[in-house]
Structure 1
Amino acid sequence: MPHLCPQCQHPLNPTDTGFTCDNCHHHYAQCAVCPDCQQPLQVLKACGAVDYFCQHGHGLISKKRVEFVPELPAS
C-alpha cells in the first residue's frame, strides 16, 4: 500500500533520503518502524554497523524486517 502525501493525498515516491510527492513537491524524511507494533525504532550505530531496537518489547529487529515510512509533521 503506497503512502499518501498529507498535503495533496497523492502517492509518495521513495527516495534515498525519504519520500517525495511528485504532485506538490513536498519531501518527508523516512522513519524506521517496528513491523510488529508499528512504533518508531531506536537506531543504534556502532563500528559502521546500523541496528534497530524496538523499545516496546520486540527487541532487536532485523534490517530485513524494518519498515520505512514517511515521518509526517506533528498535527
Structure 2
Amino acid sequence: MSVMCEKCQHPLSLSDGELNCSACGAHYPAQPCCPACRQPLEVLKACGAVDYFCRNGHGLISRRRVLFQPPGH
C-alpha cells in the first residue's frame, strides 16, 4: 500500500524524513506508524540509533517494517 499525494494523487516517496511527490513537488512530514495497528509510533533515539515503539501492545518495531505516512492519515 503506497501513500498518495493529497494534491495530485501520485505515489509519494520517502526521503530525509519527508514524503515527496515527484509529480507536483509537494512535501509532507513523514510520521512513523505501526504496520499492525496503523497508530503513530514513539521514536526512541540513543547513541545514534533510532528505534520505534508501539504503545498499543506491539512493542518494538523494526525500522524495515515501519510505515511512514503524512500526519492525520
> Counterpart of 2:21 in structure 1: which amino acid?
C
Distance 1:38 1:19 in 2: 17
Of structures 1 and 2, the larger Rg is shown by: 1
Task: Report the equivalent of 2:38.
Answer: 38
Is residue 22 of structure 2 the alignment partner of residue 19 of structure 1? no
Task: Report the equivalent of 2:67.
Answer: 67
Post-superposition offset of 1:28: 0.9
Which sections of structure 1, spanning at least 5 residues, go unmatched? none
Aligned length: 72
Distance 2:64 2:13 in 1: 20
- TM-score with structure 2 setting the length: 0.79
Post-superposition offset of 1:59: 1.5
Distance 1:22 1:62 in 2: 27
- For the aligned residue pairs, the C-alpha RMSD in angstroms reads 1.7
- TM-score with structure 1 setting the length: 0.77
Post-superposition offset of 1:49: 1.7
